[in-house]
Amino acid sequence: MSIPQFEDTPPQTERVSDYDERHFVTYLRILEAAKENASGQEVAAIVFGLNVAADPGRAKRVYDSHLARAKWMCEAGYLQLKEP
């Protein structure tokens, strides 16, 4: 499964962004992996295709920031999807 182009950190807006919409499936994959207690390094390698050994700091930043945004989408962002 290919992932859309991604930034190291998703936009931190109060509204669901185009970036969020492109990454709905990515967010779901991250949330599912977290639910299954997968390591952030494993998720960074599998979901984002990152070489964790070459740049563990970036892998952690990408994983942590996208997991936080995925959680925000579940807690607040999804409400905006119901708006006209």
In this prediction, residue 80 carries a pLDDT of 72
Asked whether the whole model's pTM tops 0.75, one would answer yes
Q: Which of 36, 18, 40 is nearest to 48 (CA)?
A: 40
Q: Which of 14, 42, 10 is nearest to 29 (CA)?
A: 42
Least confident range from 36-45, 58-67, 73-82: namely 73-82
- The ranges assigned to domains in the chain are 18-78
User: pLDDT per residue over 8-62, tens digit each?
Assistant: 999 998 898 999 989 999 999 999 999 999 999 999 999 999 999 999 999 999 9
